[in-house]
Structure 1
Amino acid sequence: MALRDDMILLMSGLQRYHHLLALLGVIIATVMATEAMIIAGFPAIEAEFGVASVIIAWILPTVMLVGAVILLAIGSLGDILGKRRVILACLGVYGAGIALGGYAPDMTILLLSRMLQGVGLAIAPLAYALVAEETPPEWVATAIGVLAATYGAGSFLGIMFGAYIIETIGWRACFQIMIPVVLLIIIAAWFILPRHGVLRQGKIDLIGMGLFAASILTGMIALTEGGLSGMRNPIVWGGFLVSFLLLILFLRHEKQTPDPLLDIGMIREAPFPAITINAFLVVFAFFILLQLMPYIISHPAGLALPIIFVGILLMPGSLTDMVSGPLAGYLVSKKGVVLPFLIGSIALLIGSGIFFLFELTPLLLVAVWMIFSAGMSILLTIDNMIAVASAPPGQTATASAFLHTIQSIGGALGPIVAGAALTLYPAEEAFTVIFLIVLAVSVIILFQSAVIRRYLP
């Protein structure tokens, strides 16, 4: 009888775990699907609102910027108030942003809606932390790999349907069709998310949050101004200087406040510095290319294809992304971290280097995107595994949020750099400049992977 009760309890626990993993995966996939759908609409939005490419380049970074600013606070709130409450609140704000974006009459309202949607990115570190806390230890690597796969799954669905929706209905429909989806997710989350969890005492560091936000925003505005008026403009370098000084003030404040957003001591310990640099560079390079793809596919200087081909040509890369996350989890569980880390780094270098070796064709672009997506997915999956495994008890959400903050900063800067290049240079020359930047970053990532592997398990 006791054995039967134990078996029933075990099966019930496994069922709850699977429901939780499925829900968190659907949430991440939904956020990524919305992001992927709107990519094909960049040229149409630019033409409708009559703004420069460097302004359109803010459509992706606005989400990333808000995510970067609030991720640390959301991670701390998750550890203090409970991850269930915070995830439900984030879903509510995200849903409001989706609804507003579907009916945005101008660029200002569209960017405001994107700011609200940025709260959706804050769910990801809470999801990773929940998986680490609720999953049996021997399954954590696989479960995180599954969550990483939902990034690719969401991107695949978004790219597959987004270009068609934009071509036949219009870019606003990308947001409108997601409204009922988000409502259903909120209902499911209310019943499935666990009400328990490891909590800690503390307060949210609003001053640190403000300094951090001002630092990132000032730097991005300076970079945008550089794309509009040229990098020699003194205002641009003045903006970079102010951004740097604000960052110094933020770090100094974090060392002195009793309840910091960022545990400086935690992130100074290996392997956090290594995975932080890696995560930033990988996402930065990926989002530069992501911003470029609709232009290189549809522009006369590129492939000059109809906009629907944005979805067709990027779809294989999303499938590769979807497979590579679980594969990285499997490799880590069998071979350790070093081998898949090197594989991912080499894939980035190969993917970006192909562009300079062969004439640009649709098949070449598919190959570049597939290889690059695989490398990106492998590296980010491993980075997240290391972050939650290295975090002290009660700080898993904070550690995961820190890593996602760094990723969001890279994701915010990447499109701005691409938009600045597209504004400053003729299209064909801009394509070359952007791929040179990505190639250089990929070389740094490979070098870094060889150096930091001594710190990895």
Structure 2
Amino acid sequence: MRETEDESRNNSRYYNTALVLFCLCIIIPMISETMLIAALPVIEHEFSATGILGAWILPVVLLVGAAFAPFAGTLGDCFGRKKVLCIFLSFYVAGTFMGGFAWDIWSLLFFRFLQGIGIAASPIAYALVSEQFPLHKVPMGIAFLAASYGAGALTGVLFGAYIIDFFGWRATYYILSPVVAAHFIAMLWYIRPSSETNSGGIDWKGTLCLFVSLLSLMVSATVLYDSGKIDLWSLSAIAVCLISGLLFFYIEKRTDFPAINLSMLKSPLMITISASAVLVNMLTYLLIQTMPFIIQSPTGLMLDARFVGLVMMPGAVADMVASPVAGRWMRKRSAKVPIYLGAVMMAAGCMLYFVLPQSIISLAVIWVLFSGGMGIVATCYMIIMINSVPKERTAGATGLLHSSINVGGMAGPMIAGIFLAAYTMNFTIGGEVWTLPTEQAFELSFGFGVVVTLVILALIYLICRFSGLNKTQI
């Protein structure tokens, strides 16, 4: 009996510590990403990368994440989730260490490409919770992982803006490098090894085709916008995108070990959840790209970089709090109420931009509503998805979902970049000429947000219908 109590105590200690380490797999990248938010205007100006090319800074990480997330999930299912997670995290360590030494926009994008490989492994953290934790602890574990996005965003926004304002954007990389390395070592040392099926199938071809398709999609959008017309380069990029995309689907249907199990997409529930994930994260990153310009531009509030953190911090708190609350609600009751509430909050946040006078307080209120609603919706569809697949397929399913999340996160800044570059003016600040967006660009972004949130509400209706939330509890 004594031995059983000790074993139970040790297991409880392991679950708590492991959950912290798994959450850090999300928190640390979110800190890194949100630290850069306040620096986007400065980086674009320093590297002369204004317009849509500057919009690549955020989505390049998510491009790699979108392409490799399902691949990482499948590798984890086959060869052990801890092993694969640590391998991918090693790329993140390398990218973070070198990011502060970027000498131009292209070197910065390459180092962020390496970071993207590490971010691609985040679905494995969800799968490890499902694999190693007792069944009754899984929903709250997933909720804490979902809340980690808000916790990371809170930390990054809070400290990043001040670090950038006083020490420059490169200091964010210098400070994070030892933290990333320490987390990587802790993961190697503490997390229990997971089972290996050794199926032997690695879908390199499918993963490569998906990456090329997404990359050429971004290139085609960049070329089309910069040239303002369809030319040989844009047509070539579009052709590569279509051909590699078709090859991806062809390979996935015929390989024994696909990076993305397309049979999952035969389920109407999985299709609607994936579509919702794309739109929720597309809109989130679109507004994340837009907010620093509203706060810092002469056509907005014209405040220092540190005010970006002040305005966006309450929203990060709302996201961090809303996610576990939604998880607890779902464990005791139905997911129907919180998922609808979250979508309505997102829509209200976008609509209020056109109602409230522009100020620090109004922008903070808008961001609180939007971020809190986003956290609730993301938690709900993640738990619904995990509960809808067999336990042995959770890594593959979460990989598919995170691929959808990253596709949306990749598209959002690109769309924001087009909006912000469509309406610009030249301003002389500190003796230098800055090209910055006008108020019309901000209105376009939030108007687009209103439309997207209405579509998200329609998709949530379908999720509730397909998952039977009117009849059962999730």
TM more than 0.5? yes
In structure 2, what is the Cα distance between the partners aligned to 1:172 and 1:429? 31
TM-fit CA distance, 1:227: 3.0
* Aligned CA distance change for structure 1 residues 17 and 197 (closer, same or farther; 3 Å): farther
Task: Give a deviation string over 1:249-301, Cα, whole Å, max 9, x none.
Answer: 31122111222111111232242111101100000000000001110100011
Matched with 2:428 is none
SS at 1:194 equivalent: coil
Q: Where in structure 2 are the equivalents of 1:80-91 lying within 5 Å?
A: 80-91=78-89
TM-fit CA distance, 1:104: 0.8
In structure 1, what is the Cα distance between the partners aligned to 2:272 and 2:229? 30
Matched with 1:432 is 443
* Aligned CA distance change for structure 1 residues 233 and 448 (closer, same or farther; 3 Å): farther
TM-score scaled by length of structure 1: 0.96
* Aligned CA distance change for structure 1 residues 428 and 233 (closer, same or farther; 3 Å): farther
Matched with 2:119 is 121
Answering whether residue 352 of structure 2 is matched by residue 354 of structure 1, we say yes
Q: Where in structure 2 are the equivalents of 1:8-157 lying within 5 Å?
A: 8-157=6-155
TM-fit CA distance, 1:375: 1.2
Matched with 2:188 is 190
Answering whether residue 457 of structure 2 is matched by residue 446 of structure 1, we say yes
TM-fit CA distance, 1:200: 5.4
In structure 1, what is the Cα distance between the partners aligned to 2:360 and 2:26? 29
Query: What amino acid is the match of 2:75?
Result: L
Matched with 2:430 is none
> Contact 2:130/2:391 (CA < 8 Å) preserved in 1?
no
> Contact 1:41/1:166 (CA < 8 Å) preserved in 2?
yes
TM-score scaled by length of structure 2: 0.93
Equivalent position to 1:379, from 366, 369, 377: 377
> Contact 2:342/2:372 (CA < 8 Å) preserved in 1?
yes
Task: Give a deviation string over 1:224-271, Cα, whole Å, max 9, x none.
Answer: 223323366685466445424432331122111222111111232242
> Contact 1:33/1:158 (CA < 8 Å) preserved in 2?
yes
> Contact 1:230/1:424 (CA < 8 Å) preserved in 2?
no
**Range 368-377 or range 242-251, more displaced:** 242-251
In structure 2, what is the Cα distance between the partners aligned to 1:22 and 1:316? 23
* Aligned CA distance change for structure 1 residues 132 and 231 (closer, same or farther; 3 Å): farther
In structure 1, what is the Cα distance between the partners aligned to 2:299 and 2:453? 25
SS at 2:302 equivalent: coil
Identity %: 36
Q: Where in structure 2 are the equivalents of 1:10-409 lying within 5 Å?
A: 10-197=8-195, 199=197, 201-230=199-228, 236=234, 239-240=237-238, 242-409=240-407
In structure 1, what is the Cα distance between the partners aligned to 2:404 and 2:25? 21
> Contact 1:64/1:412 (CA < 8 Å) preserved in 2?
yes
TM-fit CA distance, 1:352: 0.7
In structure 1, what is the Cα distance between the partners aligned to 2:295 and 2:235? 33
In structure 2, what is the Cα distance between the partners aligned to 1:322 and 1:233? 46
In structure 2, what is the Cα distance between the partners aligned to 1:113 and 1:265? 34
User: Between Structure 1 and Structure 2, how many residues are aligned?
Assistant: 455
Backbone CA RMSD of aligned residues: 1.6
TM-fit CA distance, 1:359: 2.2
Gaps of 5+ in 2: 425-437, 470-474
TM-fit CA distance, 1:387: 2.5
In structure 2, what is the Cα distance between the partners aligned to 1:19 and 1:185? 12
In structure 2, what is the Cα distance between the partners aligned to 1:29 and 1:231? 41
In structure 2, what is the Cα distance between the partners aligned to 1:123 and 1:213? 15
Gaps of 5+ in 1: none
In structure 1, what is the Cα distance between the partners aligned to 2:135 and 2:229? 50
Task: Give a deviation string over 1:275-331, Cα, whole Å, max 9, x none.
Answer: 101100000000000001110100011111111101110100100111011011011
Query: What amino acid is the match of 1:166?
Result: I
Task: Give a deviation string over 1:188-216, Cα, whole Å, max 9, x none.
Answer: 11221111336351411111112111111
